[in-house]
Amino acid sequence: MADPLRLGIAGLGTVGAGVVKIVRQKADLLSARAGREVVITAVSARSKSKDRGVNLSSYAWEDDPVKLAQRDDVDVFVELMGGEDGPAKAATEAAIKAGKDVVTANKAMLAMHGQALAELAEKHNKIIRFEAAVAGGIPVIKALTEGLAGNTITRVMGVMNGSCNYILTRMQSAGLTYKEVFAEADGLGYLEADPQLDVGGIDAAHKLAILSSIAFGTQVNFAGIALEGIENVTIEDINHAADMGFKIKLLGSAQMTGRGLEQSMAPCLVPATSPLGQLDGGTNMIVLEGDHVGQIMLRGAGAGEGPTASAVMSDVMDLARGIRLPTFGQPAATLEAPKTAAAATPAPYYLRMSLQDKPGALAKVATALGDAGVSIDRMRQYDHADAMAPVLIVTHTTSSEALVAALDALPATGVVNGAPVALRIEQI
């Protein structure tokens, strides 16, 4: 049997403790499958004395993750601390320079420094693996880099943040406001230490940027994502969307167009009966489209100790088996510099506005939309007690430029109160 694969694990929180448990509990299974033992030699975290529910006494302890990364008895540095810079990045770089492969779950670090880290790894003939960084337990990185390697990927979409999906689902099922459900989710410990990473769409956008790079052979481009979080989604919009047959999801979408790479992470409407519309609670779903395979959907737990540790172990097992792939599926030098598409691919839109309920008001709105080239598919006006009527419009497929022109023209009609809500509709 080959020599054991020796892991040094930095970060013993939710994910790190989960990985230690799998390595301890499944030693025989892992060794049978890899053809060699997988062992932990050293660990690091901030507090040595904290009880983590696992026995760490047989592992060397390092206070400094950089020192852990450089140890001679470590073959693979497993980075599970998190944070886009700081100790995670410093220790990852130190590990590569010291001749170690790296496994990480750190989407923030890869979204911001993925290209530089991939180049550094290749320079030292080392690799970085990160199955756990996107959609927790769903093996989507493997699906893209291996299962679909013979396809030109045409589109990547999905719900990539379980906390946001939980909040939106709960708002609808309990009829609660965003603020009420946010407080509830925070209290239950569902949100990141900085909740803005979740509700601002940043965490999900980190994941989308990573998927885009692999899917389209481009350098990771977080800055090129049109990003909007769920903070402004109201219970009114959730209810009105439901009335029109839709659900609101924080949806990531990336596609390569003739105008460049189009990436967006924003609240969108999807048909309530579609697989994405039926995705409730903290679950994730990734939709991949390839020219030969067509459309596939991967659904599962996007976070949590077990699912995320399972994904980390997928990378560890590949390294134990000698499977070595370039970081983003192809050599870093061949990844194209990103060109961001200036406008979004045409789509139908949901518009909600508060309209003065008086003769000719609707006609003025219809004219403003028509003049901008926006065609109305469906429209609904709701009961109201005051002079302002809530009006919903579902448009036919329209360009984003036409939509912006229409929205810009609405105030001049003199019949619309405040800024209308406009959300893209994805027929998926």
List interacting residues with ligand NAP (CB under 6 A): 10-16, 44-47, 50, 65, 80-82, 87, 105-107, 132, 136, 303-304, 308
**162 binds, options ligand HSE, ligand NAP, none, Cβ within 5 to 8 A by partner type:** ligand HSE
Taking the CB of residue 388, how many other CB atoms lie within 10 A of it? 16
Specify the residue, 162 or 329, whose C-beta has the smaller distance to ligand NAP. Answer: 162
As a whole number of angstroms, the distance between CA 34 and CA 39 comes to 12
Verify binding: residue 184, ligand HSE, rule CB under 6 A: no
> Of the residues 126, 207, 247, 249, which is catalytic?
207
Residue with tokens 């410990």: 189
Q: How many residues does the chain have?
A: 428
Contact between 16 and ligand HSE by CB under 6 A: the answer reads no
Which of 32-40, 160-168, 312-320, 331-339 is the region at the interface with ligand HSE (rule: CB under 6 A)?
Answer: 160-168
Binding mask 203-242 for ligand HSE (x = CB under 6 A): x---------------------------------------
Nearer to ligand HSE, 128 or 355 (CB): 128
163 binds ligand HSE (CB under 6 A): yes
Query: Considering the rule CB under 6 A, would residue 303 count as an interface residue with ligand HSE?
Result: yes
> How crowded is residue 142: how many other Cβ atoms within 10 Å of its Cβ?
18
Shortest reach from residue 354's CB to ligand NAP, in Å: 40
Nearest to ligand NAP of 16, 139 (CB atom): 16
For residue 329, the partner it binds in ligand HSE, ligand NAP, none, with Cβ less than 5 to 8 A by kind, is: none
Rounded Cα distance between 246 and 49, Å, is 50
Task: Rank residues 49 and 150 by Cβ distance to ligand NAP and give the closer one.
Answer: 49
Minimum distance of ligand HSE from residue 133's CB (angstroms): 8
Residue 82 is a binding residue for ligand HSE (CB under 6 A): no
Does the protein bind ligand HSE through residue 198 (CB under 6 A)?
Answer: yes
| 302 sits near ligand HSE (criterion: CB under 6 A) | yes
Is 85 buried (19+), middle (13-18) or exposed (0-12) by CB count in 10 A? exposed
Beta strands 76-79 and 101-104: pairing type?
Answer: parallel
Min separation Cβ 281 and ligand NAP, Å: 14
Q: Is 179 a catalytic residue?
A: no
| C-beta closer to ligand NAP: residue 130 or 178 | 130
Asked if residue 41 lies in contact with residue 74, where contact means CB atoms within 8 angstroms, the answer is: yes
Catalytic positions:
207
Q: Provide the binding-site residues for ligand HSE, judged by CB under 6 A.
A: 136, 161-163, 192, 198, 203, 302-303
